[in-house]
Amino acid sequence: MLKKIENIASTAEFKNNSRFINGLHSLPGISSGKSNISDSLSFSSAFRYLSQLKWNLRSLEHNGNDEFLLEFGVDNLIFSTKVNIHDCHSSNISYRIINEDAISSSSHKYQILISFEFDPEVYAETLLASKTEYFNWLYEKFASYDSIILKNSTSPEVNDFFIDEAQSYLRYEISLIHRNLIFFLEKVTGEILSQQLRLTLYNSGDEKLIRIHQINVKL
């Protein structure tokens, strides 16, 4: 039941549109009395923040388990993930990412499933910081090795090859995007969700801090 949200003209239009409001009526801080913030102020602040980031919210779903399913565009990439507002964990965070438009050197699209350990250093960035430089580099690399991916989309060795030389940069960029997404949800719900992320300890073990689990080539 994903609710498509595109070209939102105003907060009032969003709130009064039954396509979007179903499933959102039980949000904490909006109708449950947990916050003094009004509906219009909550939504206005949340969507103004996305507008300032220049992100495109493509779909938003709130289910009965206090989970949000979101899909949003940043530059030429579409990200989708799930966030539980009562378990905003900092480890093994998963995203699906796909390029919205074909890359210059390839007519294909590449959908990846990644997981990562959140990097709390991103909280030193300004509120509107958002970067995809190394993810754009990664997708250009996919295009350069298109024939290999077609044969080995779930091979750990192949997938590690793509991120090894830029692992820390990719982790930082996706952590920054996740931080901004949590900021957005905090504005929507009126809840503080980021305590656990801010207190994340650096993992000095041998485990990779970001992994590609799957690469699917969309022909």
| pLDDT in the model for residue 205 | 56
Using N-to-C axis directions, what is the helix angle for 167-189 and 133-144, rounded to 10°?
Answer: 130
Q: Is the pLDDT of residue 69 over 90?
A: yes
How far apart CA 219 and CA 10 sit, in angstroms, is 37
Is pTM beyond 0.95? Reply is no
> Other C-beta atoms within 10 Å of 98: how many?
17
In b/e form, how buried is each residue of 164-190, taking b as 16+ CB within 10 angstroms? eebbebbbbbbbbbbbbbbbbbbbbbb
What is the per-residue pLDDT across 117-158, written as a single tens digit (0 to 9) for each? 999 999 999 999 999 999 999 999 999 998 888 876 788 888
Mean pLDDT computed over 47-69:
90
Q: Point out which residues pair with 71 in neighbouring strands.
A: 59, 80
For the chain, what's the residue count? 219
- pLDDT-above-70 percentage for the chain: 76
* Residue pair 86/192 in contact by the 8 Å Cβ criterion: no
